[in-house]
Amino acid sequence: AAALTPALSRRERESEGAGFFAKLMAGPRCSAAALALMLGLVLAAAAPVKATQIQNLARIQGAEPRQLFGTGLVVGLNGTGDSDRFRPKARAVASVLQRTLDEMTTADEVAGARNVAVVWVTATVPASGVRVGDAMDVRVMAMYDARSLEGGHLVMVPLVERGDDSPVFAIASGPITLENPDMTRAGRIANGAQMEVDVLSQTMDARGQVTLVLHNSYARWTVAANVTNLINSLMAPDGPKVARAIDQRNIVIRVPEADRGNPATFISQVLQVRVHQSLIAMGATVRINERTGTIVIGGDVQIAPVIITHGDLTISTRGDGAAAGQVNGEAEPGLFAKLDPDEAGGEKLEDLVRALNQLQVPVADRIAIIKTLHADGYLAAELVFE
């Protein structure tokens, strides 16, 4: 309503929305379930944008991508294929020629060919599934010492899912394109695999249940309980509960009998339920990626009173009016930010990191300081390395 009628004041829009909702409540055909859904829509529209849909927090079990793989030969290379040091290449080439050209071909006769390379072939079946005849992109990587796959053509390769006992899911072949000129030993074949069987997602079990699997970053008891309660309040406000959390990551949802013949609508409604940020708030967590130098602080991460000395740098988090930082023992308050700028009575890690940024402390030193604080018990948070 706000987007369509920008001339209305906020108070006018709220009054108009309340009047509309009151009319709906007074309607003779307004069921409790409809009221709950309408209320959810009104609250979602009125609330600030601090909510996300369930589909961003979890996936439906049985609707996952599946990896197919195979090994094969790339031919037509301009002298950049595998050398004769690798006998599997020679045997593979001889096997192909025995089937298609001359059954008397031996591995020794083709060992010196540098226009052929043995490759690893992969394709990903999307979570939505595929049908016979659908095409998928293929990734191709050299297995031995081929210098480049540029200009090569993949000979037909059967793709399987697990191993020797797996049926053939697709057949891959086609010309290879190098996506990165600096990575000549790997390439791609657009629509290079054609499906030989149907692969459909199995989202609902024999008892009419689907399982929501929370992503790892949200897999906590509080989040599972909050999402479960929200689904029950919106999808089954009057009847028996449809959702139950069986652990901190999995939520089992019973599809109503009327929707089991075509569960897509019900599942879609569940996945589109909006969850307020407060219901999924992260605990006090610090994630560090030492390779990229990234530090991510989640939640209210507090630091106990401590004086930190690192090299020539000294920082106090005592909150007693001491200088926020010193260099070579001399306080220089103009260079430092207070670690408790709001005088809230506590020092936060984000304030410390901000001070270190202002001091242009190297990333490696920042990470070392955080590690030491955590190891000595001064950092009240979970420390995760990625």
pLDDT digits (tens, 9 = 90+) for 131-169: 999 999 999 999 888 899 999 999 888 999 876 677 899
Least confident of 46-55, 215-224, 253-262: 46-55
Cα–Cα distances in angstroms (integers) from residue 257 to residues 60, 246, 254, in the given order: 19, 22, 9
Query: Span 180-186, mean pLDDT?
Result: 92
Query: Span 244-250, mean pLDDT?
Result: 95
Instruction: Please tell me the predicted confidence (pLDDT) of residue 115.
Output: 82
- More confident: 315 or 158: 158
Instruction: Please tell me the predicted confidence (pLDDT) of residue 98.
Output: 67
Q: Within the chain, where are the H helices?
A: 10-26, 32-46, 87-100, 107-110, 221-235, 264-271, 349-358, 363-375
Question: Phi/psi at 250 (nearest 5 deg)?
Answer: -110, 130
Instruction: Please tell me the predicted confidence (pLDDT) of residue 104.
Output: 64
Long-range contact list for 84-88, CB < 8 A, 24+ apart?
Answer: 84/111, 84/112, 84/113, 85/145, 86/118, 86/144, 86/145, 87/111, 88/118, 88/144
Name which of 293, 353, 282 is nearest 317 in CA terms. 353
On the question of pLDDT at 61 being above 60, the answer is yes
Instruction: Please tell me the predicted confidence (pLDDT) of residue 286.
Output: 84
Cα–Cα distances in angstroms (integers) from residue 286 to residues 98, 146, 322, 350, 354, in the given order: 60, 43, 26, 10, 15
Name which of 255, 72, 68, 37 is nearest 153 in CA terms. 72
Give first-to-last CA distance, the chain, whole Å: 43
pTM of model > 0.85: no
Q: Which residue has the tokens 């069987």?
A: 197
b/e 249-271 (16+ beta carbons within 10 angstroms → b) = bbbbbbbeeeeeeebeebbeebb
Average pLDDT, the chain: 77
Query: Span 173-189, mean pLDDT?
Result: 94
- More confident: 251 or 13: 251
- More confident: 322 or 119: 119
| DSSP state at residue 320 | S
On the question of pLDDT at 281 being above 80, the answer is no
On the question of pLDDT at 86 being above 50, the answer is yes
Name which of 291, 280, 212 is nearest 52 in CA terms. 280
